[in-house]
Amino acid sequence: MRSLVKYADYTREEISHIFDPGRPFTPQAGTWGLRGMIRVPHRKGDFVFFVTVGKRQAHHVFREHITESGILTWQSQPSQTLSSPLVREWIRHDHLTNSIHLFFRTRNSVPYTYMGRLAYVSHDGSRERPVYFRWQILNWCIPASKLAAMGLELADDVPECGTPQGSPLQRTSPPTIIDSPKPGPDYHTVTMDFAENESWDETLKEGGELLVLENEKMQLSNDGRPDLAARVIHTSRIQGDCAGYNIQSYFPDGTVKYIEVKTTAGGAGTPFTLTANELSFSKINSCQYQLVRVYAFEKKGPSAKYFVLEGDLTQHLSLRPIEFRATLK
């Protein structure tokens, strides 16, 4: 039996053996041979989603796509409404408790590629039959070679806003997902704060901090303050990670700015961790604190995109404990 490997290709039969071993498989029939959304046996709240780009069902054409930051635009079955039990269950989906596994392909004649697990982002309360969802693909870091092999073209993400000329960093707005230009009264959205840890990568961490460091110097020079640019400090390199921030920079008026950098090769919604020290420092120094979220980091170049959260991080993020220090009573 094959094991589940991210970005590997699978047939429906292979997928059925992974999630429902022992059940006979019939091509083009039954639960695993035909359906698009399948509940995993014996694991309440877990699902497998099969997505084929441009699939037709009766008179409906599914128009589903993935963005550069790993946001999946996805539609339920054409018969489902906002009050359908499955739709309500997906809206309440908690990826920390349950898993939705995405298998995606660009045409009928090829196997499915395992894209990873999904976290609910939003749905459009103004449309039903089908219901329109947005999902974040967790730990999104698909290789360019795999995209080419799949023939998958990624859709655009949030627009740029204020990128300094010549900078390898491209600034974007913080990711707030909107499903419809005119959302209905039941429209629901959440901040993308998915608490799924990315593997520790010292090269990734250092690379993101260096990009932000040089970007700060460039911004200050462009603002006519080369004197301040010369005083920007890579604090975490000098003092280690105990300061509560990575970079000491300056606002153009000379006020000190404290910057914490969080870097991912994934999309804007990829989760990250905060230490108690970092969170406390953001509260105490809220007028001078910025968290710079670097994403879509490419080691070749290097280059990346980023957005900025300013001040007390508890005002921007939903924080949830995922580990506990345990001692005997």
What is the Cα–Cα distance from 286 to 254, expressed in whole angstroms? Answer: 17
The pLDDT tens digits for 16-31 are: 999 999 899 988 888 8
Q: Tell whether 132 is covered by a domain.
A: yes
Of 107, 128, 156, the last residue of a domain is: 156
Residue that finishes a domain, picked among 126, 156, 186: 156
The whole-number pLDDT of residue 288 equals 97
Does a structural domain hold residue 3? no
Chain segment 7-17, per-residue pLDDT in tens: 999 999 999 99
Which residues span the domain enclosing 213? 165-329
C-alpha to C-alpha distance for 319 and 294, rounded to whole angstroms: 19
Overall number of domains in the chain:
2
> What pLDDT was estimated at residue 166?
56
Closest CA to 10 of 166, 114, 125: 114
Its pTM stands at: 0.58
How far apart are the C-alpha atoms of 130 and 74, rounded to whole Å? 10
Which among 121, 137, 156 is the end of a domain? 156
The predicted structure's pLDDT at residue 182: 37
Residue 181 scores a pLDDT above 60: no
Cβ of 239: how many Cβ atoms within 10 Å? 13
Of 175-184, 218-227, 291-300, 305-314, give the lowest mean pLDDT range: 175-184
**Does 4 reside within a domain?**
no
* pLDDT at residue 180 in the model: 34
Residue of higher predicted confidence among 134 and 312: 312
The residue-averaged pLDDT of 248-258 equals 96
The fraction of the chain above a pLDDT of 90, given in percent, is 46
Residue 295 has pLDDT above 80, yes or no: yes
Q: How many helices (DSSP H) and strands (DSSP E) are in the chain?
A: 8, 16
Same domain, 150 and 169: no
Asked whether residue 303 is domain-assigned, the answer is yes
Question: Is 74 inside a domain boundary?
Answer: yes
- β-strands 47-52, 100-105: how paired? parallel
Average of pLDDT values for 182-203?
43
